[in-house]
C-alpha cells in the first residue's frame, strides 16, 4: 500500500481521479473510505431519467490521518456528471463535515486539554459545477446544509478547500468553497459562482466570451484568485504539492487559520467592501487591470510565468492572506 501511495504523490492532481486524490492527501496507508463503491449508494433518481449512475455517486468520502490529526476527507469526481451535487452526493459531503465536528466534540469531552495538533480537520477537494440538474432540488438543499455544518466547525475544526481538478469549482459550491477556512489551488484550478458559459448565455458574449480560454483562466484561475486573496496557497499540480500545502495550513494554530478566512466576520466583510470599492474605482475590464492595481506593472507576464517565479515576484491585494 505505501509504495503505491508513493507513486501517487508525484502524479498530476488534475489528471488523477477523486479516489486517488483522497488516498494521496492522507498519510500513507491511513485512508478508510466510508460509504464507498461497495455500498452501492448510487443515485436513485438518475436511473428514472435514463442517466448513468456511479456506485459512489461521484464523491469519495472517508477518514485518514494527517500527522497526529484525524482527517475527514471528501473528494468530488469531476468526470461523473461534472462532479455535480445530487441527493446522495450531497448527503455524503454534508455528513463527512458533520462527522468531523462530532469527532471533535467526542475527543474534547474525553480529553479537555487535547492539543490543537491532535484535533480533527476536514479537507474537501472540490471538482464540481454545483447542483445536479437531474435532482436539482435535493442538491440545492444540500448546499444549505453544508454552510450550516461549516458554521458548526467554526472555531473548532479547520476546514480546508482544495481546487485543482479540470471542472473547477462553480455554482453553489463556489460559495461553499469560499466559506472554508483556507483554500489551496493550483494554477489549473478555477473558482467562481457563475461559470463563464452561463454568463455568456445569460448576458451575452460582450459580457463574457466563454470560448476565450485565456480570459476564463485570467478571471477564474488560481493565479487570479491568489492575487485577490481568494485562495491562500498556490501549489504545483501534484498530489504531493497539495498535501504539503495542507500540511502548511494544519501546522498553524486555529487562530492563525482563522486569519486566512476571506469571509465569516464583520471585520472581514468590511475588508471585502473596501476591496470592492477600490475595484469599482479602477473599473477593471480584465483581471490584468486588477493585477496592475495590486502592484504588478508587467501584469501580462504573470500569465505564463512558472509558479516558483510567480510566487516570488507577484504582489497581492492588500487584504490577501
Partner 1 sequence: MENLIGQGRLAIDMIVDPDSFREGVVGTLQLTDEEFGPGAVVGTASLDGAICTIIANDAMTINQKFPVVYAGIIGLEEGYKMALAVYHSIEADRDRAPGEKRALVLIVDTPGNGAGKLEEMAGMNKATGAYQMALAEARKAGHPIVAIVVGRAISGGFLCHGLQADHVLSLSAAFNTMIHVMPLTSIARITRLDIEWLQELAKSNPVFAAGPDFFYRLGGVEELVDSIPAMRDRVIAHIAEVRALKAAGREDQLGPWGRGTLGEVRGGRTVRGRVMQTMNEEFAKVADRYLK
Partner 2 sequence: MAKKLRELTFELKAESPSALPTDFLHYGVVGSGDMEVIMEHQELAGAVRIIVRTPVAGFDEVWRRVLERFVNQTGMADARIEINDNNATPVVVTLRLHQALAEIAEGGARHV
What does 28 interact with, of partner 1, partner 2, none (CB < 5 to 8 A by kind)?
Answer: none
Q: Fill in the per-residue mask, 70 to 99: x = in contact with partner 2 (CB under 8 A), - = not in contact.
A: -------x-xx-------------------
- Please compute Rg for the chain using Cα positions: 19
Q: Is 135 in the site for partner 2 (CB under 8 A)?
A: no
103 makes contact, choosing from partner 1, partner 2, none, with CB < 5 to 8 Å by partner type, with: partner 1
Smallest distance, partner 2 to C-beta of residue 46, A: 7
Q: Answer yes or no whether residue 4 interacts with partner 2 by CB under 8 A.
A: yes
How many Cα neighbours within 13 Å face the side chain of 29? 4
User: In the set 13, 23, 245, 246, which binds partner 2 (CB under 8 A)?
Assistant: 23
How far is the C-alpha of 58 from the C-alpha of 104, rounded, in Å?
27
Asked if 64 and 30 touch (Cβ cutoff 8 Å), the reply is yes
Question: 37 contacts which partner out of partner 2, partner 1, none, CB within 5 to 8 A by kind?
Answer: partner 2
Name which of 90 and 187 has its Cβ closer to partner 1. 90
Please choose, out of 16-24, 265-273, 279-287, 307-315, the segment that lies near partner 2 by the rule CB under 8 A. Answer: 16-24
Q: Which does 220 bind (CB under 5 to 8 A by kind): partner 1, partner 2, none?
A: partner 1
Q: How far apart are CA 204 and CA 118, in angstroms?
A: 51
51 part of the interface to partner 2, by CB under 8 A = yes
Q: How far is the CB of 67 from partner 2 (least distance, A)?
A: 22
Residue of 119, 54, 118 whose CA lies nearest to 92: 54
Candidate list 32, 55, 301, 321; residue touching partner 2; CB under 8 A = 55
- Binding status of residue 52 toward partner 2 by CB under 8 A: yes
With CB under 5 to 8 Å by kind, the binding choice for 155 among partner 2, partner 1, none is: none
How many other C-beta atoms are found inside a 10 Å radius of the C-beta of residue 298? 11
Residue 276 binds what, of partner 2, partner 1, none (CB under 5 to 8 Å, by partner type)? Answer: partner 1
CB atoms < 10 A from the CB of 206, how many? 7
Please report, as ranges, the residues that interact with partner 2 according to CB under 8 A.
Answer: 1, 4, 8, 17-20, 23, 36-38, 40, 42, 46-55, 77, 79-80
Amino acid at each position: 500500500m505505501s509504495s503505491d501511495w508513493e507513486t501517487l504523490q508525484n502524479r498530476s492532481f488534475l489528471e488523477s481521479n477523486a479516489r486517488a486524490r483522497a488516498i494521496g492527501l492522507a498519510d500513507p496507508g491511513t485512508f478508510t473510505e466510508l460509504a464507498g463503491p461497495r455500498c452501492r449508494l448510487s443515485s436513485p433518481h438518475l436511473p428514472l431519467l435514463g442517466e448513468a449512475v456511479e456506485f459512489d455517486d461521484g464523491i469519495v468520502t472517508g477518514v485518514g490521518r494527517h500527522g497526529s490529526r484525524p482527517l475527514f476527507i471528501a473528494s468530488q469526481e469531476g468526470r461523473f456528471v461534472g462532479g455535480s451535487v445530487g441527493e446522495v452526493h450531497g448527503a455524503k459531503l454534508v455528513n463527512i463535515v458533520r462527522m468531523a465536528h462530532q469527532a471533535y466534540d467526542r475527543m474534547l469531552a474525553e480529553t479537555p486539554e487535547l492539543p490543537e495538533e491532535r484535533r480533527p480537520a476536514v479537507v474537501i477537494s472540490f471538482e464540481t459545477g454545483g447542483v445536479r440538474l437531474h435532482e436539482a432540488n435535493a442538491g440545492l438543499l444540500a448546499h444549505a446544509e453544508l454552510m450550516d455544518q461549516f458554521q458548526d466547525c467554526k472555531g473548532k475544526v479547520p476546514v480546508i478547500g482544495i481546487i485543482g481538478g479540470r471542472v473547477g469549482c462553480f455554482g453553489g459550491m463556489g460559495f461553499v468553497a469560499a466559506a472554508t477556512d483556507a483554500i489551496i489551488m493550483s494554477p489549473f484550478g478555477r473558482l467562481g459562482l457563475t461559470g463563464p458559459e452561463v454568463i455568456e448565455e445569460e448576458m451575452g458574449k460582450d459580457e463574457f466570451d466563454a470560448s476565450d480560454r485565456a480570459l476564463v483562466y485570467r478571471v477564474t484561475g488560481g493565479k487570479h484568485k491568489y492575487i485577490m486573496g481568494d485562495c491562500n496557497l498556490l501549489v504545483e499540480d501534484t498530489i504531493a504539492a497539495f498535501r504539503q500545502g495542507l500540511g502548511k495550513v494544519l501546522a498553524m494554530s486555529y487562530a492563525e487559520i482563522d486569519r486566512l478566512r476571506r469571509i465569516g466576520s464583520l471585520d472581514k466583510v468590511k475588508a471585502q467592501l473596501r476591496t470592492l470599492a477600490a475595484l469599482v474605482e479602477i473599473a477593471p475590464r480584465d483581471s490584468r487591470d486588477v493585477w496592475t492595481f495590486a502592484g504588478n506593472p508587467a501584469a501580462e507576464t504573470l500569465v505564463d510565468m512558472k509558479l516558483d517565479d510567480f510566487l516570488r515576484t507577484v504582489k497581492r491585494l492588500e487584504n490577501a492572506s
